[in-house]
Structure 1
């Protein structure tokens, strides 16, 4: 790969560190050529095709794209217009009507064959995730592995889950954020297909195009009825959300877009699974196990907190604030960030980093501006990291990187007070009473996860049910989970059917539904 051009903003180099270079065989050009070799039907000279009507289709207006890792140009999405998206949805309905009658044994065999193919190309899929969305190598591999292992669990045990159940009347439409293309989006699509549905997915606007294209090419070769299209949400939403052919809408993303989708599916009476952002919080109350807390702090920064189960808010008993800082600050100061593919020697393994870049330079600037504004309005900077000691190539573009930042008492006028930053920014709120603790932990009208650290189990048992998060941990972080673990959310963080294990199958099948599906639905609209 060519070095960054002189007009790109270089990182401040650590003169004591060895000079780094890109690990041999990991350049974007290497990954792209491997994609073309594996799936030439989907990858052209410098672009990808959309998959619909069981064929890789030319067309679509390709937009330029760059990697958040170092500004390298990468493949951009071939964006379809609304009429073509409607054609794709109608074609998916034809596929659905055929696939829903395919015997379960054959569906299982085809999904299992897809998993074998994904396993064969595991490292390439992970490398694409590094370049497209900036995941460190360890986390990129974990995303691929969770998708494969999670779907295999369903392949092995789905038969009793489908007893007295049937596929939906139309395909499942998937709109998901960019941060977990494999373990969230591909996992969901393959389980939905295993249950007897054709599936449609929109590639996330900000990243994951090549990884998803390769995964869908491997599935399509096994005869799995998948549609993969690119385009703007505004252009495609009429087809992917409102079209009468769609049997269910599965959405993972922010509250603004999610609110519009929620309104549409509720008005249409359409089955839905809507996972949205929430401010996940970690409470500290009458607590003393500081070594355990210090050990977990770096893990909370995995992938720069760009995940739906990140913990960006600590709510701390004021009398414990000094002890909290003693545990927190050394841990956050040891966090490693940088280029996920940079090594000092070609024989070295890829670096073990806590996180790399944010999804793009625009997000990095937005978050940096929010931090600056919060400090100007009274927030106290407790910790501000620097890129100076980061793990970077000489002269590389670092415009998408933000080091860890911790702010005390962000003002109520700041987005950092009430919304999820989706980046490596922690905020701390000090409280004096249990009522203040609960109010601060419930600041965002519902969350996916929360944790309460307290020495007294009885205190945890009394307070945890009052925390408006779907999963509440005692001293330990909670995760999204998969396989048999139920998942959902409270308040504005979730709408529609809960998922996990048998409930994920129930969400995308139909049967004797005399009782509503488990989940969060508007009171005026319980799913049939």
Structure 2
């Protein structure tokens, strides 16, 4: 089990499906640009079969005790841990990230499943005080079959984020992962299958995204939409889901500000931020991107950031010496190059990188740009790549205003040793998640989600399971 999966397929009603005259999508290895597999794409008949299976599956799964659901979830987590090396290798071969990052993602996925296995057993209703002879209760019940769509940047974790809370809550789910990173999803689903999850509870389909989303969201079977991806696509899906007023969880794009104040531990801050900025080649929805640095340390910060960046080694993610792998597809290097050139043309200083990488894959150098004008395209549209944009600020008020300037509000990072300022930033920065003096935002027991145009609803934590529940009030006399 060392190569990319030779057999990719749809997983519908407990059956792996490929061939049969279906259209296929050719998958490329982002480190080489070479083809490595063909992915079958679902037909309308396949989607109808998946919907029918999900409807039947939900009717049975909702009756299964939470403890019994937890047993299957924990078995799946154990299998993912057991197969972590293989799944990580698959993720690297199809998405490009360094193997160590991929393995960390896979192990984090197992931990998230284990959390939801326990959280599904902690769904509590309540009894309300009433006069003798009356009783009022609040119940939480699974919402029903879920249609879930997830992005390619975390091909294992994004799958688990959708599947685990849904089945822990008692729902069935039809998942459409990215067609660019199907292998990781297939390997994760095999773990659920081998753990004993009935085949009509969690299913996978691939295909033409617009066709699949329109068909699944138009069906009366589907009761909830869960989406991770870009703001424009998320808005389009919300409009489709609005026709039936279905429940939604939307984890959309960000453009994360980083506020660095002159009282921070500068060297520690630089070491932390440079490593985190170029994680997954910057293809992370919570990637630190807009670095606003207080004037007193601005020059030292810029110099230290550029020096560290120049020492990074980019290459095939399977090479242990690589700090950063390729971008996930052929479109991304050109998109980043256009943003870098736009910033350069209006006066920004490119201090590191700024060009394509070597080799036949989809590489772009880790890039540092200082003195970036606010009108630069990259300062307003999420680059989603290995680009750090740095600007100075003077006062606390200036920093907060810059952090909140854009319509996005997913994640923010702040570095300061002043406790009063930390409290102020926690209150005033508009983001669903804020990290202060560190960069970790993802924890199994903490909600993950944004505000403003970065979406609504949360994944992970108790909120992840709760998002798959309806609330019912019952009054008895």
1:51 aligns with 2:25: no
Q: Is the 8 A contact 2:159 2:177 kept in 1?
A: no
1:86 aligns with 2:86: no
CA shift for structure 1 position 193: 1.1
Where does structure 1 differ by over 3 angstroms across 4 or more consecutive aligned residues?
A: 81-84, 385-388, 409-414, 511-514
Aligned match for 2:458, one of 498, 507, 518: 498
Partner Cα separation in structure 2 for residue 412 and residue 262 of structure 1: 30
Aligned match for 1:317, one of 267, 287, 294: 294
**Equivalent residues in 2 for 1:406-445, closer than 5 Å:** 406-445=368-407
CA shift for structure 1 position 265: 2.6
Give the structure 2 partner of residue 185 of structure 1: 159
Query: Which SS does the other structure have where 1:160 is aligned?
Result: coil
Partner Cα separation in structure 2 for residue 286 and residue 215 of structure 1: 45
Partner Cα separation in structure 1 for residue 41 and residue 377 of structure 2: 31
CA shift for structure 1 position 194: 2.2
1:476 aligns with 2:438: yes
1:123-164 CA deviation, whole Å, 9 max, x = no partner? 111110010001211111111101111111222453123554
Give the structure 1 partner of residue 128 of structure 2: none
Partner Cα separation in structure 1 for residue 332 and residue 211 of structure 2: 23
Q: Is the 8 A contact 1:429 1:440 kept in 2?
A: no
Query: Which SS does the other structure have where 1:166 is aligned?
Result: strand
Aligned match for 2:342, one of 362, 366, 373: 373
CA shift for structure 1 position 267: 4.1
1:233 aligns with 2:205: no
**Equivalent residues in 2 for 1:127-166, closer than 5 Å:** 127-161=89-123, 164-166=139-141
Q: Is the 8 A contact 2:409 2:452 kept in 1?
A: yes
Partner Cα separation in structure 2 for residue 246 and residue 482 of structure 1: 29
CA shift for structure 1 position 501: 2.1
Partner Cα separation in structure 2 for residue 352 and residue 167 of structure 1: 46
Q: Is the 8 A contact 2:214 2:240 kept in 1?
A: no
> Relative to structure 2, which stretch is displaced further, 158-167 or 110-119?
158-167
Partner Cα separation in structure 1 for residue 207 and residue 368 of structure 2: 36
1:328-357 CA deviation, whole Å, 9 max, x = no partner? 222222222111223xxxxxxxx1533100
Aligned match for 1:265, one of 209, 216, 241: 241
Aligned match for 2:449, one of 488, 503, 509: 488
Q: Structure 1: which 5+ residue stretches go unaligned?
A: 1-24, 37-42, 343-350, 391-395, 515-528
Q: Is the 8 A contact 1:419 1:444 kept in 2?
A: no
1:354 aligns with 2:320: no
1:74 aligns with 2:51: no
Partner Cα separation in structure 1 for residue 34 and residue 243 of structure 2: 43
Give the structure 1 partner of residue 273 of structure 2: 297
1:398-451 CA deviation, whole Å, 9 max, x = no partner? 3x1111112224344433011221110011122233333222212321322212
CA shift for structure 1 position 250: 0.8
Q: Is the 8 A contact 1:309 1:478 kept in 2?
A: no
Query: Which SS does the other structure have where 1:304 is aligned?
Result: helix
Q: 1:316 to 1:298 in 2, by over 3 A?
A: closer
1:8-38 CA deviation, whole Å, 9 max, x = no partner? xxxxxxxxxxxxxxxxx8xxxx414xx46xx
Q: Is the 8 A contact 2:306 2:368 kept in 1?
A: no
Partner Cα separation in structure 2 for residue 201 and residue 145 of structure 1: 21
Aligned match for 1:397, one of 353, 356, 360: 360
Query: Which SS does the other structure have where 2:3 is aligned?
Result: helix
TM-score normalised by L of structure 1: 0.81
Query: Which SS does the other structure have where 2:259 is aligned?
Result: strand
Q: 1:108 to 1:403 in 2, by over 3 A?
A: same
Query: Which SS does the other structure have where 2:288 is aligned?
Result: coil
Give the structure 2 partner of residue 345 of structure 1: none
> Relative to structure 2, which stretch is displaced further, 128-137 or 158-167?
158-167
1:119 aligns with 2:81: yes
TM-score normalised by L of structure 2: 0.89
1:247 aligns with 2:259: no
1:238-269 CA deviation, whole Å, 9 max, x = no partner? 12333221121110001010111122334431
Partner Cα separation in structure 1 for residue 121 and residue 169 of structure 2: 9
Partner Cα separation in structure 2 for residue 288 and residue 118 of structure 1: 39
Give the structure 2 partner of residue 217 of structure 1: 190
Q: Is the 8 A contact 1:89 1:239 kept in 2?
A: no
Q: Is the 8 A contact 2:315 2:324 kept in 1?
A: yes
Give the structure 1 partner of residue 142 of structure 2: 167
1:455-495 CA deviation, whole Å, 9 max, x = no partner? 4222232244221112222222242x232212221210112
Partner Cα separation in structure 1 for residue 372 and residue 13 of structure 2: 51
Query: Which SS does the other structure have where 1:426 is aligned?
Result: strand
Q: 1:454 to 1:330 in 2, by over 3 A?
A: same
> Relative to structure 2, which stretch is displaced further, 500-509 or 56-65?
56-65
Q: Is the 8 A contact 2:62 2:142 kept in 1?
A: yes
Partner Cα separation in structure 2 for residue 298 and residue 432 of structure 1: 23
Give the structure 2 partner of residue 277 of structure 1: 253
CA shift for structure 1 position 361: 2.0
Partner Cα separation in structure 2 for residue 453 and residue 149 of structure 1: 28
